[in-house]
Amino acid sequence: MAQHITKLLQSSELRRSNSDKLIANYFERNLSDIPFETAKSIATRLQLSPMTVGRYLRRMGFDGLDELKNELRRGGSNPAWEVKEPVAQFKADIKEGKLLAGLIQQQIDNLGMIYALTVAPEWGQTVSALVSASEVYVAAYQNVRGIAQYFASQLSYTRPRVQFVDGLNGTYSELLDGSVEGRLLFLHDVRRFAAKARPLAIEARRAGVKVVLLTDEFCPWGAEVSDICLVVPGSHGPLWDGAATMTVVMDLILSNVIVELGDDVRARVELLTRLQDRFGDFEN
């Protein structure tokens, strides 16, 4: 039954507008949590109105969220109907609504979703693209810029010709001038989305640059502007967005790249370590 619902959510009829795509993506990636949701809670997560969610459910053929829940229940194999046991030491605190316990549980849940991503086809495609590209350019904006710079710096220890691009030259010409074939853009953007991110992805593909987009479930245009789209859980907490989920994803990608490159990484690290010692960047 879950497969039937997933196929329905992937249809073009239910992905016409940006709000359609937000709701479809959320339902598709969180079917196991639907039994514990309300139309209002889903609308709040997606920053839409409950009426918008209700209209979408009717277009799916359900007279409200309860009908969708009943349909999933009748399927019998949906893991959502199994009892969910939180991590033992947080159980009482979560029940009492203590903030930090809830946030920790959210991170634990997100890690489970990340594991599912690591066995998806897009994961292997991303690792292969990072390994085989002639040059890798990493771009990000606003509050995720620092995380992306960290990723670019770490990736540069595994392979040559990795560069973080900030766009301050106003053209991104180092990426888009077409002088080198086989370039890759690793673009990182999450809600609220930067005004430059989507145009950069479009221009990169126009210039023959492969685009890997690392984004969250709130992005309605990711698959349209990228060759490979990695989607992770978005922030649903009561505080500002955290970096833990994205940092874990990037560290796992780096680990996978290291495994693929094997001895080449060891040789490169030895070279960089010798140069660091030569120029005195670190204490002996």
Please report the domains of the chain, with CATH numbers, ordered by start residue: 2-84 (1.10.10.10), 120-279 (3.40.50.10490)
Q: What is the pTM of this model?
A: 0.67
188 in the Ramachandran plot: left (φ > 0), alpha (ψ -120 to 50) or beta?
beta
- CA 260 vs CA 145, 181, 211: distances in Å: 26, 22, 20
Residue type, 31: L
Q: 164 has which bridge partners?
A: 138
**Mean pLDDT, rounded, of the chain:** 84
The pLDDT confidence band at residue 77, using thresholds 50, 70 and 90, is: very low
For the chain, state the CA radius of gyration: 21
Q: Where are the alpha helices (DSSP H) in the chain?
A: 2-9, 18-29, 39-46, 50-60, 65-75, 91-95, 99-118, 121-132, 145-155, 173-176, 197-206, 222-225, 244-261, 263-279
The tokens for 199 are 């145009």
pLDDT tens digits, one per residue of 29-46: 887 778 777 888 888 888
Tell me: pLDDT of 120 over 80: yes
